A and B are shown apart, each in its own frame.
Chain A
Amino acid sequence: MSQLINNIDALTLISNIVLMLATIVLYQSFAYIQNKSQLIWLNPMLLSIVAIIPLLLFFEFPFEEYYHSTQFLSNLLEPAVVALGFPLYQHLNSIKHQWKALGSILALGVILVIVISFTLTIVFITIPKIAVSLSLKSITTPIGIALSQQLNGDDSITAFAIILAGVFGALLGPSWLNLIKVKSAKAQGLAIGAASHALGTATISKISYEHGAYGSLALIICALITSLVSPLLISILSIWLL
């Protein structure tokens, strides 16, 4: 009997490792393709998700089992957030002189986007869980998912919305900002970091060093502000709108 249980355990362990490796290999291949082609919309995260879904459906493999098998990858989200403290440390000196202005603009922006996303979702889709998820879409994925769990949003919708917000800002952000005459590198970096987090920042870092620096500054400050204000703001909005 115990022999049998051991065999089953070993089998689960092997299938876990296989599924995890398959996910990593798939992601790395897409990352390689994007690196070669330099096309923003070939985002490896987005493409891996789009590729894995039909595979699971085709083999009738339950998502819960896939998620459970790749749990280790999801567990790495926490140390990934901690690692983001490094770019913040690098920018501490440049914020010192303007932290009041920067903080207030970003805080207002964060409040604005949470109110707009939450309200629009409640009005048009009427599902509070989804409204929470969409309110958290402007911040970097690991923090967005952590907050979404804390505030009873839906992880997968949050992740999906975050990727889309990132792709929109990365693809169209610079030309849109030029159009509305926001042309300085600092302002563009800050705006794209605030609205399109790491995905936008990684993309515009190629334009100039200042774009990248202000982008990562904005993405981290916005994540911090969002985690401070979103619990209270979302409960107030829920009381008003529901």
Chain B
Amino acid sequence: MKNGLYSGFVIAGCLLLGKVIAANFGGLPASLYGMILFTSALHFQLANPEKISTTISWIIQHMGVCFVPAGVGIINHYQLIKDHGFTLVAIIFISTFILLSFVGLSYQHLVLNKNSDSD
């Protein structure tokens, strides 16, 4: 519980600072600035990773529920799904496989095979 509060406090602090940065400089969404600040805080030992790790795995495991309301919004697109549902799914399918193949093949051939001794 104590660690949970500590983690919440650190995350909220980073997010708040991220909001200040985003409001003043724009560029990235506030939450991404917050993420970069959080990583830096951990890296430069301003925050204690051991106290945070359990809370983080809990958050990552359960965060799916936060996306449900946004996802239900697809209800407003009945006409779109009716007209273009198949095309929509096909585009997602094709581009996902192109990305999978591109990253997998490039990394395997350009990085791994080159320094196979250092791996």
Given A27-B65, A83-B11, A105-B106, A195–B31 Cβ distance below 8 Å?
no
Q: Which of B88, B105, B110 has the most CB of A within 10 A?
A: B88
Residues in B neighbouring A158, C-beta threshold 8 A: 70
B1 proximal to A (CB < 8 A):
no
CB distance from A200 to the nearest CB of B (A): 9
Query: A133 — nearest CB in chain B belongs to which residue?
Result: B88
Whether A143 and B91, one on each chain, are in contact in the complex, defined by CB atoms closer than 8 angstroms, is no
Whether A86 and B76, one on each chain, are in contact in the complex, defined by CB atoms closer than 8 angstroms, is no
Residues in B neighbouring A213, C-beta threshold 8 A: none
Give 8 A-B pairs besides A159-B73, A180-B105 with Cβ atoms closer than 8 angstroms.
A53-B74, A63-B76, A66-B72, A80-B63, A82-B31, A86-B49, A177-B104, A182-B105
Whether A113 and B99, one on each chain, are in contact in the complex, defined by CB atoms closer than 8 angstroms, is yes
Query: A19 — nearest CB in chain B belongs to which residue?
Result: B69
Among A7-15, A114-122, A234-242, which stretch is in contact with chain B? Answer: A114-122
Whether A66 and B69, one on each chain, are in contact in the complex, defined by CB atoms closer than 8 angstroms, is yes
How far, in whole Å, are A143 and B31 apart by their CA atoms in the complex? 8
Whether A146 and B31, one on each chain, are in contact in the complex, defined by CB atoms closer than 8 angstroms, is yes
B interface residues with partner A (beta carbon < 8 Å): 11-12, 14-15, 18, 28-32, 34-39, 42-43, 49, 52-53, 56, 59-60, 63-77, 80, 84, 87-89, 91-108, 110-112
Given A86-B56, A89-B49, A192-B100, A157–B64 Cβ distance below 8 Å?
no
How far, in whole Å, are A142 and B103 apart by their CA atoms in the complex? 23
Whether A67 and B65, one on each chain, are in contact in the complex, defined by CB atoms closer than 8 angstroms, is no
Within 8 A of B (CB), among A124-139: 124-125, 127, 130, 134, 137-138
Interface size on A, residues (CB 8 A): 100
Whether A82 and B35, one on each chain, are in contact in the complex, defined by CB atoms closer than 8 angstroms, is yes
Query: A81 — nearest CB in chain B belongs to which residue?
Result: B31
Residues in A neighbouring B77, C-beta threshold 8 A: 154, 156-157
Given A159-B73, A160-B74, A138–B80 Cβ distance below 8 Å?
no
1/0 contact string of A74-113 vs chain B (CB within 8 Å): 1011111111111111001000001001100110110011
Whether A85 and B38, one on each chain, are in contact in the complex, defined by CB atoms closer than 8 angstroms, is yes
Whether B15 and A79, one on each chain, are in contact in the complex, defined by CB atoms closer than 8 angstroms, is yes
Please report whether the interface of chain A is mostly helix, strand, loop or mixed according to DSSP: helix
Given A79-B15, A142-B63, A194-B103, A159–B70 Cβ distance below 8 Å?
yes
Q: Which of B28, B97, B108 has the most CB of A within 10 A?
A: B108
Among candidates B74, B80, B84, residue contacting A49 with C-beta atoms closer than 8 Å? B74
How far, in whole Å, are A180 and B109 apart by their CA atoms in the complex? 12
How far, in whole Å, are A145 and B14 apart by their CA atoms in the complex? 20
How far, in whole Å, are A196 and B92 apart by their CA atoms in the complex? 11
How far, in whole Å, are A165 and B94 apart by their CA atoms in the complex? 10
Among candidates A86, A124, A184, A195, residue contacting B52 with C-beta atoms closer than 8 Å? A86
Whether B39 and A112, one on each chain, are in contact in the complex, defined by CB atoms closer than 8 angstroms, is no
Whether B69 and A74, one on each chain, are in contact in the complex, defined by CB atoms closer than 8 angstroms, is yes
Whether B65 and A78, one on each chain, are in contact in the complex, defined by CB atoms closer than 8 angstroms, is no
